[in-house]
Amino acid sequence: MKKYYAITILIVLAALFAYHFYAADKAEQNIDTSIQEITSELNPPLSVSYSSVEVGPFSGDVHFTDLNIIRNQDIRRAQSVLFDFSYFDFLKISLFGAEYGLKRIESANINFNRLSITNRANLTEFKLNSLNAGYQGELWKLLRIGFHDSTASSEHTLIAEGSNFTISLPGFIGIINTDTLNISSVLKNKSGNESFSATASLKKLSWNPTDSFKNQYRFFIQGFGYEPDSIPFQKAKLDFDYKSKTPILSINEMSLQSELFTGILTGKLNINSDTLSATSFDSASLRFSDLAPPLQNVLSNAEKLFGIKIPMADSTISMGISGTFLKPTIRMDNQ
């Protein structure tokens, strides 16, 4: 009798084990079908490709490898993307289809490996070695926004931490590398109008300026013991927002700290993603504080050499700034 019960239990366990693999395979098919259906409806067309999509039969994780999303001049790539879902989320997807399951997922952890976003028109690029994000919102609607289909109203919150973050804006500011990135962001969509706001913190930055900047200021940079293609900063923080109906990303406040100074920009720096050279300041002010003795000595020598007076009080310089980023107009504030 005991042998009969033991065999029965083993059969039930084997059936459950087999079912989970069947359900995982079914979930993979449902996800693949949903992606093809969404992208086929879009105009202009969107290309989504990946070498594989796998669903963990017991964990419910959804894992894409070699993901590529291409539309017009924008290319988004990731070596791998892992959606860390709960077991019950997995069952919803496997039993009732990807759309049904994803519409009922309101939180998830998402891990990106070797993520890049590139614009072929202006050659701008953003890269991360890894990005681990905690998500709150309506995942199905977020995915449709990612596929450039953003007709449904929604709100999404993302808190993420990344490593080895690189910003490349050739011909504008050059290349910035940073060890760590922390970002807290909110994406809202209403009737196809997207708005994005975020606060980002970066640590251990290295700046490789444009060739023209290096050629012009090489002697000055090397005078502080830095290499022109690797100027270090300790940390930076910025608040910014973006609206989809304009090509403008507005930096509302930014701070930058190095061994030589602490800089704070208030007002707006409006970055024009279509024409970077049109990037401009709007009611902006810039303050440099905590000036290190070597920098104070350089400024003192410049005053003597050029016969000018740089308004300074308590190791702080304040100025108003307007015009374009590449050709700004600076107004020194009296202390």
Give the tens place of pLDDT for each residue, 260-306.
999 999 988 888 877 777 888 888 998 999 988 888 888 888 777 77
Decide: 80 and 65 in contact? Cβ < 8 Å: yes
What is the average pLDDT score of the chain?
81
Please write the tens of the pLDDT for every residue from 126-185: 999 999 999 998 887 777 776 655 566 788 899 999 999 999 988 788 999 999 999 999
What does the pLDDT read at residue 34?
65
Nearest one of 56, 63, 67 to 25, comparing CA atoms: 56
Decide: 288 and 255 in contact? Cβ < 8 Å: no
Distance, CA of 115 to chain centre: 9
Distance CA 281, CA 324 (A): 6
Confidence of residue 48 (pLDDT cuts 50, 70, 90): confident
Single pTM value for the model: 0.82
Per-residue CA distances from 97 to 60, 62, 100, 113, 271 (Å): 14, 14, 6, 26, 42
Confidence of residue 60 (pLDDT cuts 50, 70, 90): low
For 185-199, 202-216, 221-235, which range has the lowest pLDDT when averaged over its residues? 185-199
What does the pLDDT read at residue 122?
81
> Across-strand partners of 275?
none
Query: Which of 66-80 are b and which e, b meaning 16 or more Cβ less than 10 Å from the residue's Cβ?
Result: ebebbbeeebbebbb
Distance CA 39, CA 49 (A): 11
